[in-house]
């Protein structure tokens, strides 16, 4: 069977409501990472839509950046398929991030206190995402690490970094009491280790939710300590953990855009000019930049039965919603083939 025939077979056999019901009948945890605009949130919307259609359950989405607009404009909130909440303004980030990864949700409106109650109607949690949550922990919100530094709190061997709103005299010396005294902190090296360890704990906490979980992240360069090579991988406030994060997830999918170069005739000059069209791609395993602009390997991991890896192509194309449907069909096909083996 050629790969095209395999894809057609997988779509014909597995693309149905029963597949989505099976997918959401057990817990799993996936990571979608890539640059802004690469289709991560749009893909999550497709997963939520199919889940709600197949099971009637709701997705709870925790958001810390501008991706909220994507969910608000989808129509799925009004349809009762999504509940969203922004965590980025809440004080005491270390406590908040622990709680939301354990299933807490606001009571009495979005800004109400977080409480933990049974939520049988929830079939999926989404955390947008590793990168923005890391910056939230490290930031100047009350209780954030930079805010603690602004109050002179020293962690480890690193001296706190701070700035205070004061005026200076003619010699450039700060004059006490000359300004409002507003303090802003920065992040010394020790903060990076604290945030990375806290985020690793957050990922592991959410495994206790007992339903599927999707995290998102931006990308950055890190180092594979086992191979001694640089890789581009999910971002978590610094690069120390980036190359190792895929161990914590079932699937780590890299989202990116490939530029398809063609020609068109300029309507004014009548001359042929080059034209670039973006192709959405979801990479399923380690790969290199499709445009050849970066020579560093990108990290991606798909866990399929070991004798069925040929079922899954290096990348999937199409609109984000189409590609993720195909991905899950191919996973289902790989499992079906594995069970039929002698």
Judged on CB neighbours under 10 Å (0-12, 13-18, 19+), 45 is buried
Same-domain pairing of 178 and 134: no
| Band of pLDDT at residue 137, cut at 50, 70 and 90 | very high
Nearest to 127 by CA among 184, 207, 197, 240: 207
Question: Based on the domain organization, do 75 and 181 belong to the same domain?
Answer: no
Q: How confident is the model at residue 2 (pLDDT cuts 50, 70, 90)?
A: confident
**Judgement on whether residues 155 and 287 belong to the same structural domain of the protein:** no
pLDDT at 261: 63
CA trace torsion 90, 95, 97, 98 (10° rounding) = -150
Can you tell me the mean pLDDT for 193-217? 95
Domain identity same for 126 and 85: yes
98 pLDDT above the threshold of 60: yes
- What is the spatial distance between Cα 77 and Cα 71, in angstroms, rounded to a whole number? 7
Give me the pLDDT at residue 226, please.
65
Same domain for 99 and 205, yes or no, is: yes
Phi, psi of 57 (to 5 degrees): -85, 170
Q: What is the pLDDT of residue 270?
A: 74
> For residue 213, what is the domain's CATH number?
3.40.50.300
pLDDT at 105: 97
The confidence score (pLDDT) of residue 276 equals 59
Specify the range with the lowest mean pLDDT, choosing from 80-84, 241-245, 253-257, 259-263: 259-263
Please state the domain count of the chain.
2
Question: How far apart are the C-alpha atoms of 104 and 209, rounded to whole Å?
Answer: 10
Based on C-alpha coordinates, what's the Rg of the chain? 23
Question: Of 154, 169, 186, which residue is a domain's last?
Answer: 186
Q: Are 252 and 301 in contact (CB under 8 A)?
A: yes
> What is the pLDDT, as a whole number, of residue 319?
84
User: Looking at the structure, do residues 64 and 210 belong to the same domain, yes or no?
Assistant: yes
Beta bridge partners of 63: 86, 128
- Max CA separation in the chain (angstroms): 86
Coil, helix or strand at residue 315: strand
Nearest alpha-carbon partner for 300 in 108, 34, 12, 73: 34
Shared domain for 126 and 231, answered yes or no, is yes
**Position 227 confidence tier, pLDDT thresholds 50, 70, 90:** low
The domain in which residue 161 lies consists of 141-186
Both 248 and 163 in a single domain? Answer: no
Hey, what are 156's tokens?
Answer: 């480890």
Please tell me whether residues 34 and 68 are part of one structural domain: yes
Query: Are 123 and 170 in a shared domain?
Result: no
Q: Please name which of 193, 187, 186, 52 lies closest in space to residue 123, comparing C-alpha atoms.
A: 52
Beta strands in the chain (DSSP E): 29-33, 58-63, 82-86, 105-106, 114-115, 122-128, 162-164, 167-168, 174-175, 183-185, 213-217, 219-224, 229-234, 251-265, 272-283, 297-298, 315-317
228 pLDDT higher than 70? no
Q: In the predicted model, what is the mean pLDDT of the chain?
A: 89
The pLDDT of residue 306 is 64
pLDDT at 166 over 90: no
Nearest CA to 86 out of 142, 32, 120, 132 is that of 132
Torsion of CA 107, 124, 98, 216, to 10 degrees: -120
- Shared-domain flag, residues 75 and 212: yes
Question: Starting at the edge strand that comes first in sequence, how are the strands of the sheet with 315-317 ordered?
Answer: 82-86, 58-63, 122-128, 213-217, 29-33, 251-265, 272-283, 315-317
Is the peptide bond prior to 198 cis by the omega test (within 30 degrees of 0)? no
Distances 274 to 232, 258, 279 between C-alpha atoms, Å: 29, 15, 16
> Given this model, what pLDDT does residue 258 score?
86
Q: Are residues 149 and 64 in the same domain?
A: no
């Amino acid at each position: 069977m050629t790969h095209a025939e395999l894809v057609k077979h997988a779509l014909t056999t597995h693309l149905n409501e029963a597949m989505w019901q099976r997918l959401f009948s057990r817990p799993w945890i996936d990571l979608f990472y890539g640059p802004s605009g690469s289709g991560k949130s749009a893909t999550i919307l497709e997963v939520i839509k199919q889940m709600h259609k197949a099971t009637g359950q709701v997705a709870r989405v925790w958001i810390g950046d501008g991706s909220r607009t994507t969910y608000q404009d989808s129509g799925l909130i009004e349809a009762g398929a999504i509940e969203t909440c922004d965590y980025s303004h809440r004080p005491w980030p270390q406590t908040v991030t622990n709680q939301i990864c354990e299933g807490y949700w606001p009571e009495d409106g979005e800004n109400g206190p977080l409480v933990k109650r049974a939520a049988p109607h929830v079939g999926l949690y989404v955390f947008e995402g590793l990168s923005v949550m890391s910056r939230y922990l490290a930031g100047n919100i009350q209780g954030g690490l930079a805010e603690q530094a602004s109050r002179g709190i020293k962690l480890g061997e690193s001296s706190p970094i701070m700035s205070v709103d004061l005026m200076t005299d003619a010699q450039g010396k700060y004059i006490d009491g000359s300004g409002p005294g507003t303090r802003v902190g920065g992040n010394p090296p020790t903060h990076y280790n604290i945030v990375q360890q806290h985020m690793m704990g957050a990922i592991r906490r959410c495994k206790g939710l007992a339903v599927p979980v999707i995290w998102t992240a931006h990308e950055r360069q890190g180092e594979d300590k086992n191979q001694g090579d640089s890789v581009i991988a999910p971002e978590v406030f610094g690069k120390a953990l980036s190359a190792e994060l895929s161990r914590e997830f079932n699937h780590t999918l890299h989202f990116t855009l490939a530029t398809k170069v063609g020609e068109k005739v300029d309507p004014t000059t009548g001359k042929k000019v080059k034209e670039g069209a973006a192709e959405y791609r979801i990479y399923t395993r380690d790969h290199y930049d499709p445009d050849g602009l970066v020579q560093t390997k990108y990290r991606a991991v798909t866990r399929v039965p070991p004798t069925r890896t040929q079922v899954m192509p290096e990348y999937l194309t199409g609109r984000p919603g189409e590609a993720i449907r195909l991905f899950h069909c191919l996973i289902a096909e790989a499992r079906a083939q594995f069970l039929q083996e002698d």
